[in-house]
Structure 1
Amino acid sequence: MWAGEGETARTLPWQLDPSRRSWRTMTEIEVAEPDGLVRIWSYEDTMQGSRHLSWGGGGKVPGSEALLWTLPRSEIVGAEIKRFSLDESDFRVSFRDGSWVRLTSSRNGAQRIVALLGQGMPESDPAPALP
């Protein structure tokens, strides 16, 4: 993360850091239409597994879903895959105030997030939620 005190990147939820959350906690990002808000949600996954294996793919534990963060889409100026990352799963999101954050997802997840956030304001197509 690169952000001064009070800048947008510093407002991202700590739950995005896998080392600081339960290994069963999943996060999702969505760009909601028609309000143009970017939202980050979390929930506990019901799939059996371990922190050392791929996780996700189960259902949501009832009552575990929580809205963690909201930002107008217009405050995001771009997103890009970091080519140096293993299987191109790292990506960077840049904000209008000059702050930015590097995050990791699955390769497919990173590509979908960059497609949603990397291209200026969405036109008329509704954006899908991302796992």
Structure 2
Amino acid sequence: MTVPHRNSWKPPAGEELVARAPVSFATGAADRVKGRRWFRDTERRDIQGELPGWPTGPTYRLRSRFGPIARAVLTATFLIGLFVLVVASGSNTPSGGPGGTDSLGRSEDPENEEKDFPVLWAAPGTVARTLPWELDPARRPDTDVTHLVLTDRRLLVLGGLQDPREPWEEVLWETDLSAVATVERCPFSVGKRDFRVTFTDGSWCRLTSLDGEALLRRLTTP
């Protein structure tokens, strides 16, 4: 059960809280980018070292192209061996596919979901470059949380401490809703939980939320 924050943030008088949910920068799910994320400019250069105030974070490389092939060969070999054992024992062939995990489906944006996985796409001076580093789970402490908050006027990122003894929240970032162009779901993601916020200057970020359906419904509604 979530412990309510004694010092939880509330909008000022005259501003309405619409929805909020815990969020972080997304993480790659396709084979070559699994467990990875990058911060790019429009030339696809890594810009994490240029973002003001950001602490040093991990540097990732694309996974080898041969990893998925090797796993596929091993899986096929295992299934053939299993089939031979089943036939030899006189049992019925088991039904259902291996693994038991949901398929990601087909990516509609392979450049940014399979060959690369930027979670920040921002030219110099754009809104996305102002987002707080605390959104990166690889940089913030495990005890800290970040929430995306939608009001009738603004979009905000709150940072806080997940400690029932002394919880607190503070505003890490905010922008007027007029700076937000679109919010789109990203079906090619684990649990289909990712979404992209694109700003009117063309910059964007890719976020994910384990409990953000109510927030997403409001954000993606025209």
User: Would you say the 8 A contact 1:2–1:101 is kept in 2?
Assistant: yes
Matched, 1:41 2:146: no
Q: TM-score, with normalisation over the residues of structure 2?
A: 0.43
- Matched to 1:44, the amino acid is L
How many residues are paired up?
103
CA distance 1:60–1:18, shift in 2 (3 Å): farther
User: SS in structure 2 opposite 1:98?
Assistant: coil
CA distance 1:74–1:19, shift in 2 (3 Å): same
Q: In the alignment, which residue of structure 2 is the partner of 1:52?
A: none
Q: In the alignment, which residue of structure 1 is the partner of 2:169?
A: 65
The one-character-per-residue Cα deviations of 1:58-92 (angstroms, maximum 9, x if unpaired) are x4734x32110010011111111211101011111
- Aligned counterpart in structure 2 of residue 96 of structure 1, from 200, 207, 213: 200
CA distance in 2, matches of 1:89, 1:61: 30
Q: TM-score, with normalisation over the residues of structure 1?
A: 0.71
1:1-131 to 2 correspondences below 5 Å: 1-33=120-152, 36-46=153-163, 59=164, 61-62=166-167, 64-106=168-210, 108-109=211-212, 111-120=213-222
Q: In the alignment, which residue of structure 1 is the partner of 2:92?
A: none
Q: Unaligned regions of 5+ residues in structure 2, if any?
A: 1-119
CA distance 1:101–1:60, shift in 2 (3 Å): farther
Q: Unaligned regions of 5+ residues in structure 1, if any?
A: 47-58, 121-131
Root mean square deviation of aligned Cα: 1.7
**Greater relative CO (CA pairs within 8 A, separation 6+):** 2
Question: Which 4+ runs in 1 deviate beyond 4 A?
Answer: none
Aligned-pair identity in percent equals: 37
Larger radius of gyration: 2
User: SS in structure 1 opposite 2:142?
Assistant: coil
The one-character-per-residue Cα deviations of 1:93-126 (angstroms, maximum 9, x if unpaired) are 11000111111111x31x3332232234xxxxxx
